[in-house]
A = this chain, B = another copy of it.
Amino acid sequence: MKEYLNEKRILVDLVIKEYLDELRYPEVIAEGMKYSVLNGGKRLRPILLLMTLDLLGIQEKKGLPMSVAIELIHSYSLVHDDLPALDNDDYRRGKFSTHKKFGEPEAILIGDALLTHAFNLITRENLEPSKIVELIKLTSDYAGLNGMIGGQMVDIESEKKEIDLPTLQYIHTHKTGKLLMLPVECACIIAGEELEKKEVLKKYAELIGLAFQIKDDILDIEGTFEEIGKPIGSDKELLKSTYPSIFGMERTKEILYEKIEEAKKIMFNTFGDNARWHIKLADYIGNRKK
């Protein structure tokens, strides 16, 4: 699986580089966009889109602009997240965060430019215009107030206070979950997949999204700087509610295991062995060290 992911990651990085290389001026924004995106990310979201296209029998190249667009949106959210007014993180994946490297006003505009450019890339998809419109509608929905930004806001509001499980679940499903469901649903739009398969894939994405976030909470307690590339607990207040703080570490790991197993089971039941990479990806998310 590591090899497979690595191979895909190299492909995705090449395509990202190609799309960002056309950006020139103002230099600080163009360079800042490249720095923020090409910083050794796992490319989980683009790979999930390409993997799902493949599973649905569609050529991967049909989804390249869309997969880069999702990665730009993911990157912009990290750039703005790291700002002094938000998480105030100086490091991201072991390197300076964008505002430490380029300055704070620059980082705000670099994030804005990444978000704006993502929508430009989607318009370049070689698809029927009606599908492109659907992709943009879904992307703006899942990245916006009712999606990622909503999760981020409730997360901020929940710092330094205890929250109930529904609120924690809202944060997880929105802050991280929506942007992991997006590639899977986009693949379905591109493939014209409407019914049962789409529902299974959405459920799978929801489960691995939740698992991803639970694993993050675990790593935030058990990880090391070398592994996750930033100081442990840097964006967590002591009182902040997480799965481990609500359920304890032992039960949290059980829940993680249950989510992963369910994700694998529903995929195998519907797609059989064709879903092998999706199944391995679920395991990878549960076992990752960073």
Q: Is A144 within 8 A of B132, CB to CB?
A: no
With contact pairs A29-B145, A29-B150, A123-B136 given, residues A85 and B105 touching in the complex (Cβ less than 8 Å): yes
A176 part of interface (Cβ distance < 8 Å): no
Q: Measured between alpha carbons, how far is A113 from B112 in the docked complex, in Å? A: 11
How many copies of this chain? 2
Q: Within the assembled complex, what's the spacing in Å between the Cα atoms of A30 and B154?
A: 12
Query: Which residues of chain B have C-beta atoms less than 8 A from A108's C-beta?
Result: 80, 83, 85-86, 108
**Hey, which chain B residues are within 8 Å of A132, CB to CB?**
129, 133
Structural contact, B150 and A25, CB atoms closer than 8 A: yes
| A104 interface hit (Cβ, 8 Å) | yes
Q: Does A26 contact B (CB under 8 A)?
A: yes
Whole-angstrom distance between the Cβ of A149 and the nearest chain B Cβ: 5
* A28 adjacent to B157 (CB under 8 Å): yes
Contact yes or no, B26 A113, CB < 8 A: no
CA–CA, A133 and B154, complex, Å:
32
With a CB–CB cut-off of 8 A, which chain B residues contact A150?
25-26, 29
Residue-by-residue, is A174-196 near B (CB-CB < 8 Å gives 1, otherwise 0)? 00000000000000000000000
Interface residue? A254 (CB, 8 A): no
Contact pattern, A 146-168, Cβ under 8 Å of B = 1, otherwise 0: 10011011101100000000000
A109 within 8 A of B: yes
Q: Is A33 an interface residue (CB 8 A)?
A: yes
Contact of A157 among B26, B120, B123 (CB under 8 A): B26
The 7 closest A-B pairs by CB, nearest first: A129-B129, A120-B140, A116-B144, A85-B104, A123-B137, A129-B130, A26-B153
| A residues neighboring B (CB under 8 Å) | 23, 25-26, 28-30, 33, 76, 80, 83-86, 104-106, 108-109, 111-113, 115-117, 119-120, 122-124, 128-130, 132-133, 136-137, 139-141, 143-146, 149-150, 152-154, 156-157
In addition to A30-B145, A119-B140, 5 A-B residue pairs with Cβ atoms within 8 Å of each other are A28-B153, A80-B112, A109-B149, A123-B133, A129-B130
